[in-house]
Structure formats: structure tokens, C-alpha cells
Chains A and B, each alone.
Chain A
Amino acid sequence: MILGRVVGEVWATRKHQALDGKKLLIIEPYAWYAPPFQVGHLVAADPVGAGVGEDVVVCMGDPARRQLGSTSIPVEATVCAIVDRVERS
């Protein structure tokens, strides 16, 4: 999973039907794990309800799709937690 900040949201009327009702957020990762694309952001579906400016944990790949209740959805990243704080013991 990766740690990132929500920097925006994407709206679309015309889209793949599996994306109906899915909220899509633009995330800027603080650090990449195995970057699939060499860009500074990713778009993640958000079933948790995060907002712009919040720090989130994003899960990638198959577990991310299953969190949305389907393995046949064209999404490879999903918000799975909204970070309260990172604590160093």
C-alpha cells in the first residue's frame, strides 16, 4: 500500500459502466511502491469517503478491486484508509 495526499476529484458522465457510482480521487503519493507509471499521481476509487487535502492509504491491484466488490472493474488503486496520523514510537 502507499501513502498519499488527495489533491483532487474526477467527475465524468461518459464512462465504463463498472465505474458508475464510483468516486474517483487524484492522489499524489508521498512515495511510490513499484510505480506502474512514471508520473507523480494516480487516480484511485474511493469507497471510504476521503476529501481533498486528506492523507490516505491506497491499496493497489487485485485486493483493491475486491474492496469495490468486483474483480472486473477497470481500477487498479483504491483508497482503503484515511490517515489520522503517522506516529513514531
Chain B
Amino acid sequence: MIRARVIGEVWATRKSPLLDGRRLVLVGVEGADRAMVAIDTLDSREGQSVLVAVGSGARNVLKPGPDNRELLCDAAIALLVDGES
């Protein structure tokens, strides 16, 4: 997983049916000048610090495996950070 901060929400009408009902958010990667799009199931808000699961593990956020390989997801918010030390 990687640390990131929510920048905004991505709206799309024309999309794969596999993304129907999914909330897409744009997140900025902490410590890097990069951003990525992740699926959000946790109702994150702009500015929220989050951990993003990436790669094949991201599908486990939406539905625990192994029966989840049909999901269209390579990045998903796994948790909203309350604090860290």
C-alpha cells in the first residue's frame, strides 16, 4: 500500500460497466509529484490522508479473493488514516 491524500472526485458517465456504481477519486501520492486514480468504498473526503492498495491486491478491497478476478480495479483506498507517528 502507499500513502496518499485525496485531491478530488473523478466523474465519468461513459465507462466500462465494470465500474458502474464505483466512486473514483484522484489521490496525490505522498512524497512524490504524482497522482493516481483509485476506487473509493470508504467515502473519503478531499484532503483526507489514506492508504491505497495497488496492483492485484486492490481487488481484495472491493471483494475478498480469490473469487474476485473479474473486478476492474488496480488501485483502491484501503483505509482512512486517523493518525500516524
Q: How far is the CA of A48 from the CA of B15 in the complex (A)?
A: 6
Provide the main secondary structure of the chain B interface.
mixed
What distance in Å separates the Cβ of B9 from its nearest Cβ neighbour in chain A?
A: 5
B13 CB, min distance to chain A CBs, angstroms? 6
A-B contact number at CB 8 A: 100
How many residues in B have their beta carbons less than 8 Å from beta carbons of A?
A: 35
Cβ proximity bits B34-65 to A, threshold 8 Å, 1 near / 0 not: 11111100000110000000111001000000
Chain B residues within an 8 Å CB radius of A86: 7-11, 26
B26 CB contacts on chain A under 8 angstroms? 3, 86
Closest beta carbon of chain B to A68's beta carbon, Å: 10
Query: How far, in whole Å, are A89 and B9 apart by their CA atoms in the complex?
Result: 8
Report whether B54 and A34 are in contact in the complex, using a CB–CB cutoff of 8 Å. Answer: yes
State the B residues within 8 Å of A (CB). 7-16, 18-19, 24, 26, 29, 33-39, 45-46, 54-56, 59, 69-75
